[in-house]
Structure formats: C-alpha cells, structure tokens
C-alpha cells in the first residue's frame, strides 16, 4: 500500500510541504517538493529532510529508502534566494556578500551527507531531472543513483565562486577519477545521465517512464537482503580506500567475524541448504 504524507504542513498551513514522505512496504520514499525552483534546498526543506532520514534509520521495519524530486528537476542545490539560509545568521540578504556559507555547509550539508552515508539501509536516488550543486552531490552520496535519460548532473559551484560541497570533493575522484572530477568541478558543465552512467558516476540510466518502477524494484530487491550486511558492505568498501591490500584483508576478516556471528548469516545458510527464500531480519 502506498501512503504519502507531507512531512509537515507548509509554513502558513496552506502551501505544500517541501518534502513528501511515503511508504510502500519496507521502502520509505522521500520526494523533494519545491518544483517551481527545481526542488532547491531551503532551510525549511532541510528542517524536514534530515529528521525524515533519521526516522527511517530508527524504524526497524524500513529496509530501503528511495529519494526523488517533484516536477522536472531532482534538486538544483542550495536555494540561492532563501533568506533563511544566507549567512546562516538569517540576516535576510540572499546571495553572496557577507554570507557565512561555511556555517550553512556545517549546519545543513555536512549532517545530511553524513546521515545518508551511514544509513543502516540502502539509499537509492531516483534522479528524475537536473541535479545541480549540492543537489548533485546529495544524489551521489546515495548507494545507488538511477537517473532518467532526460536527467543531468552539474557541479554548479564554480559558476558562483564556490567549491563542491555535500561530499563532492571526496566522492567525485573516487567515482570517476581525478581528471574527470577536476573537469566536472571546474567547468560546471552539464553531464547527461547516459554519459554519467557510462563513466561510472552513477549506477544506471533508464527511460524516463521507467525511473520510479526501476528504483522501487531495486529497493524491494535490496529490502529482501540482510540490511546489516549491506550497511557493513558500504562501510567496508569506503574504509578500504585508504588502506593497503593487507590492511583491507585484515579488516575484512575482522568484520566478517562479526557478520558470521549475526543471525542473518545463519538464516542465509539455512535457507540456501533448505532451498527456500531467506527471511532476513537484522538491521
């Protein structure tokens, strides 16, 4: 059953909420919902988004999260006109000037990126349209990025005198190598979804009409696996990046020791031997 609710009413109780939260079986769906400005992030949207991710993380019945956008965009990054964000002091002066952009990043983007990268369940970005600036890197923080063929990715930061944030400096070179990371970040050029998939920036590009169906199918597939094993897989792969081979092998042995003592491993083996589907419960 699909259930979609506004995460909270609009400010005046009339406008639509900037985030819609839905549930389909074991999958939570989060829809960024400011289509008129391509779902760019406002303080009001951040105030709903992080708690919605926290709620999904705390709910043992949630086994995957899908994030998408309303309308023709996924997310155009920071709303450059939101007075509540400028300067993080809320001095009402949108744009650059004296804005304390570092404080905005500390307050909003750092916790958001960290939350996504440490979720106890897989997170899928279903990128339905343009993903720019922090909107692009928010998507890239997710475990899987599925993009509609008409979607695109833009490291828009250089065009307004900033550097990639929301994890971009860490993610880009790991995903596509230094040359492409530098190229994308310095030019701010639009990268079409097909090309993004071809160079390994994202998992998959699908026809527009199939985006949500594909994302939900993947989410349900992952929801049926051991959430604990999937979360530890993410952690182990990221942790291995700065390690040498021997250290990575040692870490695998240590983590695998813990996984081997967990109930999901016993269930996985029992199900295999009994030739029945496994029922994983761990988180």
Long-range contacts of 205-210 (CB under 8 A, 24+ apart): 205/146, 205/147, 205/148, 205/149, 205/151, 206/146, 206/147, 206/148, 206/149, 207/148, 207/149, 208/128, 208/148, 208/149, 208/150
Give whichever of 48 and 104 is closer to ligand T3D, judged by the CB atom.
104
Task: Identify the three-state secondary structure at position 223.
Answer: helix
Q: C-beta of 34: minimal distance to ligand T3D in Å? A: 9
Which of the stretches 120-128, 142-150, 152-160, 210-218 binds ligand T3D when contact is defined by CB under 6 A?
Answer: 152-160
Residues of the chain by 3-state class (helix, strand, coil), percent to 5: 45, 20, 35
Task: Kindly tell me which residue out of 162, 175, 199, 240 binds ligand T3D, with binding defined by CB under 6 A.
Answer: 162
List the one residue out of 44, 267, 75 whose CA is nearest residue 282. 267
With the CA atoms of 225, 231, 232 and 235 taken in that order, what torsion angle do they form, in degrees rounded to the nearest 10? Answer: 150
Q: C-beta of 35: minimal distance to ligand T3D in Å? A: 9
Task: Kindly tell me which residue out of 28, 29, 31, 78 binds ligand T3D, with binding defined by CB under 6 A.
Answer: 78
Q: C-beta of 128: minimal distance to ligand T3D in Å? A: 13
In this structure, the number of other CB atoms found within 10 A of the CB of residue 139 comes to: 31
- Counting contacts by CB under 6 A, is residue 132 touching ligand T3D? yes
Q: C-beta of 242: minimal distance to ligand T3D in Å? A: 26
Q: C-beta of 263: minimal distance to ligand T3D in Å? A: 41
Q: C-beta of 76: minimal distance to ligand T3D in Å? A: 3
Per DSSP, the residues of 134-146 read: HHHHHHHHSSEEE
Q: Which of residues 81-100 bind ligand T3D (CB under 6 A)?
A: 81, 85, 99
For residues 52 and 36, give the distance between their C-alpha atoms in angstroms, rounded to a whole number.
22
Q: C-beta of 130: minimal distance to ligand T3D in Å? A: 5
Task: Kindly tell me which residue out of 30, 101, 139, 176 binds ligand T3D, with binding defined by CB under 6 A.
Answer: 101
Q: Which of residues 17-46 bind ligand T3D (CB under 6 A)?
A: 37-38, 40
Q: Which of residues 48-77 bind ligand T3D (CB under 6 A)?
A: 76-77
Q: Which of residues 193-212 bind ligand T3D (CB under 6 A)?
A: none
CA distances from 234 to 117, 227, 251, 260, 262 (A): 8, 11, 13, 17, 17
Contact 115, 50 (CB under 8 A): yes
Burial of 162 from C-beta contacts in 10 A (0-12 / 13-18 / 19+): middle
List the one residue out of 135, 73, 148 whose CA is nearest residue 108. 135
Q: Is the dihedral of CA 183, 186, 187, 191 positive or negative?
A: positive
For residues 241 and 231, give the distance between their C-alpha atoms in angstroms, rounded to a whole number.
16
- Counting contacts by CB under 6 A, is residue 157 touching ligand T3D? yes
Give whichever of 138 and 280 is closer to ligand T3D, judged by the CB atom.
138
- Counting contacts by CB under 6 A, is residue 104 touching ligand T3D? yes
Q: C-beta of 58: minimal distance to ligand T3D in Å? A: 27
Give the number of residues in contact with ligand T3D, rule: CB under 6 A.
Answer: 24
Which of the stretches 18-26, 156-164, 169-177, 213-221 binds ligand T3D when contact is defined by CB under 6 A?
Answer: 156-164
Site residues, ligand T3D (CB under 6 A): 37-38, 40, 76-81, 85, 99, 101, 104-105, 130, 132-134, 154, 156-157, 160, 162, 165
């Amino acid at each position: 059953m699909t259930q979609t609710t506004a995460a909270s009413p609009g400010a005046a109780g009339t406008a639509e909420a900037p985030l819609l939260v839905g549930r389909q079986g074991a999958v939570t769906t989060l829809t960024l919902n400011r289509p008129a400005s391509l779902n760019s992030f406002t303080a009001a949207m951040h105030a709903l988004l992080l708690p919605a991710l926290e709620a999904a993380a705390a709910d043992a019945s949630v086994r995957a999260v899908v994030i998408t956008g309303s309308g023709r965009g996924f997310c155009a990054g920071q709303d450059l006109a939101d007075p509540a964000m400028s300067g993080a002091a809320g001095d009402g002066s949108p744009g650059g000037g004296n804005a304390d952009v570092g404080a905005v990043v500390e307050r909003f983007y750092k916790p958001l990126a960290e939350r996504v990268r440490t979720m106890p369940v897989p997170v899928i970005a279903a990128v339905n349209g343009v993903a720019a600036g922090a909107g692009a890197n928010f998507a890239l923080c997710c475990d899987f990025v599925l993009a509609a063929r008409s979607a695109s990715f833009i490291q828009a930061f250089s065009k307004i005198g900033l550097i990639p944030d929301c994890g971009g400096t860490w993610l880009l070179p790991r995903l596509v190598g230094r040359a492409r990371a530098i190229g994308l970040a310095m030019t701010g050029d639009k990268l079409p979804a097909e090309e993004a998939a071809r160079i390994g920036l994202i998992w998959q590009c699908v026809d527009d009409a199939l985006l949500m169906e594909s994302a939900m199918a993947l989410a349900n597939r992952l929801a049926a696996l051991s959430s604990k094993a999937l979360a530890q897989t993410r952690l182990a792969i990221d942790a291995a990046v700065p390690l040498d081979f021997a250290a990575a092998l040692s870490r695998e042995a240590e983590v695998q020791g813990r996984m081997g003592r967990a109930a999901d491993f016993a269930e996985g083996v029992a199900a295999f031997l009994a030739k029945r589907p496994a029922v994983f419960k761990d988180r």
